Structure 1
Amino acid sequence: MCIGTPMRLLAREGLSARCADAAGRVETVDLSLVPEAADGDHLLVFQGAARRLMDAEEARLVAAALEGVAALMAGTADAAVIDAAFADLAHREPALPPHLAAAFAAGRKEA
């Protein structure tokens, strides 16, 4: 399984760039899939390649979620850590996709 890491583009050279993650770790990233990326942009990076541009808020949310998962795996997460890591999900009701919401409203049960 691949997990995308949000990174900030520090400096580019052609289709390669030096990027840093939230912890300050720097690596060289391939920009072939996002050639429009510029210095300061946030990128979602999988296995050394930038997959897409992100805005600063999305990058922050993904980094927080990854920190929360790491805390859970280490056994150090409490309710406050979980709420902070998944702030965009913690206190909302889940929503069904439109096709399932319509089926539910019509009284059908999907197998």
Structure 2
Amino acid sequence: MCIGIPMRIVAANEFVAQCERHGAISLISLLLVGPQLSGTHVLTHLGSAIRVLDAEEARAIDDALAGLVEANEGRSFEALFSDLVSREPELPPHLRTE
């Protein structure tokens, strides 16, 4: 299973960014997404930014990752999946038979 980690760019040049997540700074390649401004949220995987995110999507992914930790440790996690708890599950359009 592959997991993308949302991070926020704090400094960057054309090819590499210093990205922050929970106070930790990592060097992340920007080759797949192109140059980005400080403050931009990116989804990272294995040291590379793979997609630019808006702040809301970055927060939702971060909440989901925290929810997995909480569930794994036997604590309440429902509040971290608020976008899913209040709605019925839906199949993506390409899997629907209608």
Bigger shift: residues 88-97 or 11-20? 88-97
Q: 2:63 matched to 1:67?
A: no
From 84, 88, 110, the counterpart of 2:79: 84
The list of structure 1 runs, each at least 4 consecutive aligned residues, that deviate by more than 4 angstroms after superposition, is: none
Superposed CA RMSD in Å reads 1.4
The structure where strand makes up a greater share of residues is 2
Please tell me the residue identity of whatever aligns with 1:18: Q
Assess if the C-alpha contact under 8 Å between 2:15 and 2:35 holds in 1: no
Larger radius of gyration: 1
CA distance in 2, matches of 1:97, 1:17: 34
Structure 1 unaligned residues grouped into runs of 5+: 103-111
Secondary structure at the counterpart of residue 59 of structure 1: helix
Identify the residue that residue 44 of structure 2 maps to in structure 1.
45
CA distance in 1, matches of 2:59, 2:30: 21
Residue 101 (structure 1) shift = 4.4
Identify the residue that residue 8 of structure 2 maps to in structure 1.
8
Please tell me the residue identity of whatever aligns with 1:83: E
Identify the residue that residue 56 of structure 1 maps to in structure 2.
55
Residue 84 (structure 1) shift = 1.6
Identify the residue that residue 34 of structure 1 maps to in structure 2.
33
Q: Give the alignment's TM-score, normalised by structure 1.
A: 0.80
Q: How many residues align?
A: 97
Q: Deviations over 1:23-66 (max 9, x none)?
A: 11110000000113211100000011000100000000000110
Q: Identity percentage over the alignment?
A: 41
Q: 2:18 matched to 1:18?
A: yes
